[in-house]
Amino acid sequence: MGRLDVILPDELEEEFRQEVAKELGMRRGNLTIALHEAIKLWIESHQQRRSEIAKKAWVTRKEKKEGE
């Protein structure tokens, strides 16, 4: 299992901790659970965005070929 040591602005860390506590409670391991979810969501959103960009590029290339 990997490990990331991250430095966050104090305000962001506090807001994250508060939201995790509201949603999951103050139990040990809940920050890790929330970070897993946040990282997965970040990866999925960026993969989706790249996929959409690639689709647009494909359509643009196809339209250019048809116009020649």
Tell me the average pLDDT of the chain.
91
Average pLDDT, stretch 19-47? Answer: 96
Closest of 32, 37, 23 to residue 4, by C-alpha: 32
Distance between CA atoms of residues 29 and 16, nearest Å = 14
Domain extents for the chain? 10-67
Flag whether the pTM goes above 0.85. Answer: no
